[in-house]
Structure 1
Amino acid sequence: MLHVFAVLAAALLFGTTGTARALGPDEASALSVGVVRSVVGGTALALLAFTLAAAHRRRAPERPRSTLTRRPFALMAVTGVALSLYQPLFFLGTQTNGVAVSTVIALGSAPVLAGILEWVLSRRAPSVLWMAATALAAIGVVLLGIGGGAGTGGVNGLGLAAAVGAGACFAVIANAQRRLLDAGWDAFTVVGAMGVGSAVVCAAVIPFVDVSWVVSSSGVAMASWLGFATIAAAYALFTWGLQGLTAATAATLTLAEPLTATILGVSALGETLSPLALVGLAILAAGLVTLAWGSRRTRDPRPFAVEA
């Protein structure tokens, strides 16, 4: 039961990301917020994850250690770069189309795109159930794109593309991490390496973006919450929880993330959803539930499901 609570807590923390950004300094750009979040959160996540990984190795010294050859190093680097790109794309989507709609689109497209990428890489055809769930999710995203928006019922094409791009970034992360886990790498080492890579990439960008907002009280609060809560704490909880859950349970619990984002977007930020967007949200939820139900099959990957 503790593993269930850990994944649920992580999903709730992830779901606050867009709202925390919306309540932060108005002058902060999507790129600068993503950069700061990755530097703060990636560094904290790496320190926490590597500490937990070392503790895990001390408790299980008989487990053989994986060797850091070129392929796992490249996969770890890919996860860091993908997480770095995810940040500004996600915040651009929420900035233009609102937290509720953009979060649902990003998180709804992620498992679909992850499945397509795995299909391309592994050459294994997906099941009929997966294709049906994917079709439902795609229809839901399209309806959200047509009827969604930050309160006007309209949608910004650039924001829609950014949200889907964020989902694509996570699809890359999920597939890379899947291969690292299958190769015997410890889950905390894998997520810690992602934190390091993301922090390094975004630290190199800091001289080229305006991060002056971070010295304000609201800037410090936003950067701290986004970094320590929605990356370091959330990823550590999520990674630990996944080790004791089935794919179906984990995937279902992560539905709390878009639900949280939607509730906060509507209640805390005053966003509205058109009737068409509500229909799209329901169809997308049906697709995600179908994906979760289908993931009970033993062939399914250990999920690093949908996070913001």
Structure 2
Amino acid sequence: MKDKTGALWILFAAMLWGTTGTAQELAPDQTHPIAVGAARLAVGGISMLVIALLMGRVNWKQWPKKPTAIAALSMAAYQPLFFSAVTITGVAVGTVVAIGSAPVLSGAIEWMFARKRPSPVWWCSTFVSILGCMLLFMNTQSVSVDPNGIVMALGAGLSFAVYTFASRELTSTHHPTMLVAVVFTLSAFLLSPFVFVLDMEWILTGRGMLVSLHLGMIATGAAYLLFAIGLRHVASSTAVTLSLAEPLTAALLGVFLLGEILNLTSWIGVILMVGGIGLLVFMTKRSKSNQQSRLKKHQSVF
């Protein structure tokens, strides 16, 4: 049963990530995006560490240092790279390049290091979903392509792909709660210098505190916990493609909560993303069922 629901855990995580943009819109004015990123990692990491301690999940014996360091560095790098890309080259281009490149880069990493070639269904789903993402973001805004912003957006996409691949290895030996607690606490420590450079007074206001708690505990801690649980049962490339539900959720929240308007092209993008992600979820379940059927048939022969 767990194998069949792995993709759904990833989708739930992406939906929680999709609330990030709406929450940031509700943050106090002149709040720097990188400051928000640093705060969400700190709150998320520390809250998950407390939960892990209360659950008695802390086990430092034989903790794999290399994949943990890679995952923490990747997550810490993602925040400034993504927000800088959006600032330099615009929300539309920055988001499409960062989020759209992550599945392709994830598939390449999995192919190179795990010797696992992505399936034709994955390629089809990824292509349709990325096309939908492009239509969703790139039709209502003037497009400004800045080479530096593109490089940073690609760096953000690579960071998320590397984080997912490294976390996939960690989930096989460690509880997801402890994984998220350790990785995000380390990531927050790596981003801590920004606290002394950027204005953090916003977090002391009532609205700023609520936003930081939501971003840290829900859109980061809980979301990445669900993501880690899902990673136990699906390939890293599949998980990254399913995470495209994040911009889809953000766009729909913008329509229904912030009063934003999507034109026909945007709605076509929404339909393509729903179709691409739905195809991957359906085929993932079907593939697991077929594998179990073949296994039972093989066992019955002997």
TM-score when normalising by structure 1: 0.72
Residue among 23, 40, 45 paired with 2:43: 40
Instruction: Report % sequence identity.
Output: 36
Residue aligned with 2:138, SS: helix
Q: In the alignment, is residue 194 of structure 1 matched against residue 183 of structure 2? A: yes
Displacement after TM superposition at 1:276 (Å): 2.4
Distance 1:171 1:252, change over 3 A: closer
RMSD after superposition: 3.8
1:303 matched residue in structure 2 = none
Q: In the alignment, is residue 139 of structure 1 matched against residue 98 of structure 2? A: no
Normalized per residue, which structure has more helix? 2
Q: In the alignment, is residue 67 of structure 1 matched against residue 56 of structure 2? A: no
Distance 1:94 1:271, change over 3 A: farther
Residue among 166, 173, 176 paired with 2:166: 176
Alpha-carbon distance between aligned partners in 1 of 2:268 and 2:91, rounded to the nearest angstrom: 17
Residue among 6, 21, 40 paired with 1:18: 21
* 1:167-206 deviations in Å (ceiling 9; x for gaps): 4322111100112234x23333322221221121122331
Displacement after TM superposition at 1:163 (Å): 5.9
Where do 1:160-175 residues align within 5 Å?
A: 165-175=155-165
1:97 matched residue in structure 2 = 91
The answer as to whether partners of 1:16 and 1:230 remain within 8 angstroms in 2 is yes
Alpha-carbon distance between aligned partners in 1 of 2:62 and 2:57, rounded to the nearest angstrom: 15
* 1:260-290 deviations in Å (ceiling 9; x for gaps): 3222112222323333233233223322233
Residue among 193, 203, 216 paired with 2:192: 203
Residue among 261, 286, 291 paired with 1:272: 261
2:121 matched residue in structure 1 = 129
* 1:58-80 deviations in Å (ceiling 9; x for gaps): xxxxxxx9623xxx312111211
Residue among 27, 31, 46 paired with 1:28: 31
Matched letter for residue 215 of structure 2: L
Matched letter for residue 62 of structure 2: T
Residue aligned with 1:260, SS: helix
The answer as to whether partners of 1:109 and 1:141 remain within 8 angstroms in 2 is no
Distance 1:172 1:189, change over 3 A: same
Alpha-carbon distance between aligned partners in 1 of 2:10 and 2:109, rounded to the nearest angstrom: 24
Matched letter for residue 185 of structure 2: V
Matched letter for residue 278 of structure 1: W
Q: In the alignment, is residue 286 of structure 1 matched against residue 281 of structure 2? A: no
2:295 matched residue in structure 1 = none
The answer as to whether partners of 2:168 and 2:228 remain within 8 angstroms in 1 is no
Asked which structure has the greater CA Rg, the reply is 2
* 1:89-129 deviations in Å (ceiling 9; x for gaps): 4556777537xx97787555543432222112234332222
Residue aligned with 2:57, SS: helix
1:229 matched residue in structure 2 = 218
TM-score when normalising by structure 2: 0.73
Matched letter for residue 35 of structure 1: A
Alpha-carbon distance between aligned partners in 1 of 2:164 and 2:30, rounded to the nearest angstrom: 32
